Amino acid sequence: MKPSTSILAAILAAAVAAQVQPAGVTRPIVEHCGSNGGVVCVNKYSAVLPYHFNRSISNNQADYDYRNTSVGNASTFDLLKTADFVVFDRQRGLQYLGDNPSYEFMFSVSSAVHEAPIYAPKQNLLFISQLAPPTGVLPQLLVDLNQDPPTLSNYTPNPPIYAPNGGTFRNGQLLFAASGGNDSLGGIEQRVSLRTVDPATNQSTVLLNNYFGFYFNNMDDVVVHPTSRDIFFTDPDYSYFNGLTDTAPQLPAASYRFDPESGAVFLIDDTIQQPNGIAFSPDGSTLYISDTGAVYGAIAPGYRGQGTTFNTTGKRTIYAFDVANNGTRVSNKRAFYLAQDWVPDGLKVSREGLVLTGSGHGVDVLDDVGQLLIRIQTNYTVQNFAWTGENLTTLWLMGNYGISKVEWNITGQTLV
């Protein structure tokens, strides 16, 4: 008796599938791990995937991350879709997550970019910016951590700050990198600048607003060197692309060091296409800067406010630099990490020396050689994040449409 055509077809298909699958696939590729059902482990970084797999390319309308990869011959890959935490290095990753890590969505917010998170420890308040094209000075946001549960409200410094994009804490004050420039905002001219706000009095002060008479482009993110206390900031072109400034760029996209005592500004790097996030290792010996050049617009008359496009083959890399001479010498630029999703936006380094970056719908956690250990997965684009609490163990994430928080064993650097 001859086998039926359908049986022969099935046998043939199975044989072909067995032949085309690469050797070295580790199974299960993904599995639940740890004590928390929201944690999954990716075994051996899924270094070999069974055919056929395909990952869609993100664009301005849709963001596809690793969990959206289609892997038809690995059903366990679907576990990624509902996980809060994805562990790539099981031993270290589970240790850093702790026994009972938690992810909680806290507040729905608008589609505006939400960045510049600054935690004021004495007041136990978290300040968050929101940016939008020039409809005036938008109120910023304030999370009151003294309330249970925390509350979200509007907040406006005096005078107001237009489009604060980066933020950190320095000498008891909020330090904002204001990315917008306009000759009349409520009757006040504002330019891209470094601004301080006293969280006790709400008074804001301008520290820096020009480079020998040139307007800065954007002042995207800001960090303070842990020993010299000098201020380092990035200055890409995004404010012109997104209509947050009324002048075209007058300076090349670059990163700078600013000494508030002398007023002097020093160029530290102009090789990065669109410098964005910036952070120091705890001892100040390594500086990290992200290049988000994959998100780019046109600098030409008439293109102000036309927005940006995304090219997945463009620059979306974190670079590391050596820092010496009490923070005054920056050298030895080297590639550190290629973002596995979208671009590496906000950048922070934990007390343990781990490098964290907001990357698309989540936050990637890297060790000091750029190995991905953990990914926090969200349902919104994360632009930045900050640690809060007495021991700086709670991480707040913010971006387009959402604010959330994470509890785990990774701690923030001490605020001074």
C-beta pairs of 361-364 under 8 Å, 24+ apart in sequence = 361/63, 361/65, 362/65, 363/395, 363/397, 364/337, 364/339, 364/340
- The encoded tokens of residue 239 equal 């404010």
Residues 404, 273 contacting (CB under 8 angstroms)? no
Please give the average per-residue pLDDT across 339-362, as a whole number.
96
Look up residue 226 and give its DSSP letter. Answer: T
pLDDT, mean over the chain: 92
Here the tokens at position 234 are 């990035």
pLDDT at residue 343 tops 70:
yes
As a whole number of angstroms, the distance between CA 361 and CA 373 comes to: 16
Residue 2 reports pLDDT greater than 60: no
Structure tokens at 162: 């237009």
Contacts for 216 with CB less than 8 Å, ≥ 6 apart: 191, 192, 193, 209, 210, 235, 251
- How many CB atoms are located within 10 Å of the residue 347 CB? 24
Q: How far from 123 is each of 199, 277, 290, CA to CA, in Å?
A: 8, 26, 31
pLDDT value for 62: 84
* Under 8 Å between Cβ of 200 and 157: no
Q: Are 174 and 196 in contact (CB under 8 A)?
A: yes
- Going by C-beta distance under 8 Å and a sequence separation of 6 or more, which residues neighbour residue 339? 290, 316, 317, 318, 357, 359, 360, 364
Beta bridge mates, 211: 214
Give residue-wise pLDDT tens across range 41-100: 999 999 999 999 999 998 888 888 999 999 989 999 999 999 999 999 999 999 999 999
The predicted pLDDT at position 24 comes to 87
Burial of 69 (0-12, 13-18, 19+ CB in 10 A): middle
- Cα dihedral sign, 316-279-319-396: negative
| pLDDT tens per residue, range 116-162 | 999 999 999 999 998 865 555 678 999 999 999 999 999 999 998 98
Q: Which residue bears the tokens 């990774």?
A: 410
Using alpha carbons, select from 220, 219, 198, 223 the residue that is nearest to residue 208: 219
Q: Which residues make beta-bridge pairs with 102?
A: 407
pLDDT for res 6 = 60
Euclidean distance between CA atoms 353 and 361, whole angstroms = 23
Q: What is the pLDDT of residues 210-246, one digit of tens each?
A: 999 999 999 999 999 999 999 999 999 999 999 999 9
Tokens of 235: 């200055």
All CATH 2.120.10.30 domain ranges of the chain, comma separated, are 90-407
Q: What angle do CA 83, 86, 87 make, to 5 degrees?
A: 145
Contacts of 153 (CB under 8 A, 6+ apart): 141, 142, 144
User: Lowest-pLDDT range, 35-39, 261-265, 368-372?
Assistant: 35-39
For residue 16, pLDDT over 80 is answered with no
pLDDT band at 170 (very low <50, low <70, confident <90, very high): very high
The answer to whether residues 213 and 207 touch, using CB atoms and an 8 Å cutoff, is no
Whether 4 shows a pLDDT value over 70: the answer reads no
**CATH of the domain spanning 90-407:** 2.120.10.30
pLDDT tens string 273-324: 999 999 999 999 999 999 999 999 999 888 888 889 999 999 999 999 999 9
What confidence category does residue 14 fall into, taking pLDDT thresholds of 50, 70 and 90? low
pLDDT at 54: 95
- CB neighbours (10 Å) of residue 126? 24
Residues 6+ apart with CB under 8 A from 302: none
For a pLDDT cut of 90, what percent of the chain falls above it?
Answer: 80
pLDDT at 10 over 80: no
- How far is residue 323's CA from residue 288's CA, in Å, rounded to a whole number? 10
